[in-house]
Amino acid sequence: MSITKHINDWIDERFKLSRLKEFLAKKSVPINKHSVWYYFGGVSLFLFIIQVLTGIMLLLYYKTGEDASYESVQFIMSKVSFGWLIRSIHSWSANIMILAIFIHMFSVYFTKSYRKPRELTWLTGFVLLILSITFGFSGYLLPWNELAFFATKVGTDIVGSVPGIGKYLLIIIRGGEEVTGSTLSRFFGLHAAILPGIYVVILGIHLFFVQLQGMSEPSEIVKLSLEKRKSMPFFPNFMLRDILLWLVILNILAILAVFFPMELGQKANAFASAPRGIKPEWYFLFMFQTLKYIPAKVLILEGEFFGVLMFGLAGLLWMLVPFWDVKTKKGYRYRLVNTVGLTVLLFIIIMTIISHFFS
């Protein structure tokens, strides 16, 4: 008996691995014209793993503090061997991860994969999106440069516009009344400890649901007889395709990091004017552009609060789509859901383009 077989039997006797093997052998992925979208959840997962690994590596040299953060990132970029590569991959991967999550979300939305019995998978996915954006926002401040400083001032000031509790929330988020080294400490704790902990738990639940229920199939295919529904074994057929795509993405990341390394910019200075052409990360651009169009007062509400309220309500409706999509049960098409989805998608794309190219 070989050693591997021996070890295998030893573990199997105690943990019944044969059941897991049986599950993996049976696990399959449906093949249909929408199959390409099945890859984007995996891509988001892969990019998250890259984030964790490069994030841990950055922790070896990164320091927090008004007098240390900018300098330590500068040190990573210029002195540490391949420091520029690790940091550039970390921030490129963050951006592409948000993009992959958006593609994943819209594909699930338009193929109506959130319908019964997958409502909770959609909900946990939405929570992961919010957490990912919070990851992005908190990580953006950590190099303590001019752009990050003003982006954080604006972003947190918007929270402060909520009537009543806004002032307290602002102080809790900033660690004081202004954006200072205290804010940096809080954002660092959030970015490197609190968020990863929560994220891993929710991601675990999200993936567990997917394993329990399998991949969703479009309603017109579910109606077909079992013989006509095609599928592919997950292990190894689909997994190898997954891994191939992940390798392609890793190469794209490396190319981006080498030819378009992330800049560090000027160090934050609380006594300098906001620089010309200041803009937030691309995934905030549509909200940023919308805020520019909202007047100072809407009815009795302050403009910013009105904007926050509208985006909050829209987000809530979006999160709850499995519950107001009333045609879920019958598996019909539902024009309203498609119209809402297209409107949201077009709004985001148009506002982002206007903000990026025309202002």
Partner 1 sequence: MDIANSEGKTRRDFLNSIIGIGLFGWLLTIIYPLLKYIVPPKMREPEVKTIAVGKVDDFKPLSGTIFKFGNKPGILIRRADGEFKAFSAVCTHLDCTVQFDEKIKLIWCACHNGKYDLNGNNVSGPPPKPLTEYQVVLKNKEIFVQKET
Q: Which residues contact 71 (CB under 8 A, 6 or more apart)?
A: 63
Count CB atoms within 10 A of the CB of residue 287.
Answer: 19
Residue 303 sits in the site that holds partner 1 (CB under 8 A): yes
Instruction: State in angstroms the smallest separation of the CB of 197 from partner 1.
Output: 16
Residue with smaller CB distance to partner 1, 9 or 178 = 178
Residue with smaller CB distance to partner 1, 275 or 315 = 275
Instruction: State in angstroms the smallest separation of the CB of 271 from partner 1.
Output: 5
Inter-residue long-range contacts of 282-285, CB under 8 Å, 24+ positions, other chains counted? 282/95, 282/352, 282/356, 283/95, 283/98, 283/99, 283/102, 283/133, 283/136, 284/137, 284/155, 285/351, 285/352, 285/355, 285/356
Instruction: State in angstroms the smallest separation of the CB of 344 from partner 1.
Output: 23
Return the residue of 9, 178, 220, 263 that touches partner 1, per CB under 8 A.
Answer: 178
Amino acid at 239: M
Strand 28-31 to strand 301-302: parallel, antiparallel, or no bridges (unpaired)? Answer: unpaired
Amino acid at 178: E
Stretch that binds partner 1, among 4-12, 61-69, 191-199, 296-304 (CB under 8 A): 296-304
Residue with smaller CB distance to partner 1, 259 or 357 = 357
Taken in order 295, 301, 307, 311, the sign of the CA dihedral is: negative
Return the residue of 93, 304, 325, 355 that touches partner 1, per CB under 8 A.
Answer: 304
Cβ atoms of 213 and 117 closer than 8 Å: yes
Return the residue of 154, 207, 249, 309 that touches partner 1, per CB under 8 A.
Answer: 154
Q: Which residues contact 97 (CB under 8 A, 6 or more apart)?
A: 44, 47, 48, 50, 51, 132
Stretch that binds partner 1, among 17-25, 165-173, 309-317, 320-328 (CB under 8 A): 165-173
Residue 297 sits in the site that holds partner 1 (CB under 8 A): yes
Residue with smaller CB distance to partner 1, 259 or 271 = 271
Return the residue of 271, 329, 330, 335 that touches partner 1, per CB under 8 A.
Answer: 271
Contacts with partner 1: how many residues (CB under 8 A)?
Answer: 32
Residue with smaller CB distance to partner 1, 80 or 294 = 294
Instruction: State in angstroms the smallest separation of the CB of 123 from partner 1.
Output: 26
Residue with smaller CB distance to partner 1, 115 or 153 = 153
Residue 302 sits in the site that holds partner 1 (CB under 8 A): yes
Q: Which residues pair with 145 in a beta bridge?
A: 267
Stretch that binds partner 1, among 106-114, 134-142, 171-179, 250-258 (CB under 8 A): 171-179
Residue with smaller CB distance to partner 1, 233 or 265 = 265
Query: What's 25's DSSP letter?
Result: H
Return the residue of 7, 56, 165, 172 that touches partner 1, per CB under 8 A.
Answer: 172
Structure tokens at 188: 């660092």
CA 44, 47, 50: angle at the middle one, nearest 5?
155
Return the residue of 20, 274, 314, 342 that touches partner 1, per CB under 8 A.
Answer: 274
Residue 168 sits in the site that holds partner 1 (CB under 8 A): yes
DSSP 3-state of 144: coil
Return the residue of 295, 299, 300, 329 that touches partner 1, per CB under 8 A.
Answer: 295
Inter-residue long-range contacts of 89-92, CB under 8 Å, 24+ positions, other chains counted? 89/50, 89/54, 89/253, 89/254, 89/257, 90/50, 90/51, 90/54, 90/55, 90/58, 91/139, 91/262, 92/253, 92/256, 92/257, 92/260, 92/262
Q: List the x/- string, 17-36, binding to partner 1 by CB under 8 A.
A: --------------------
Residues 132-151 that bind partner 1 (CB under 8 A): 150
Footprint of partner 1 (CB under 8 A): 150, 153-154, 157-158, 168, 171-172, 175-176, 178, 182, 270-278, 288, 291-292, 294-297, 302-304, 359
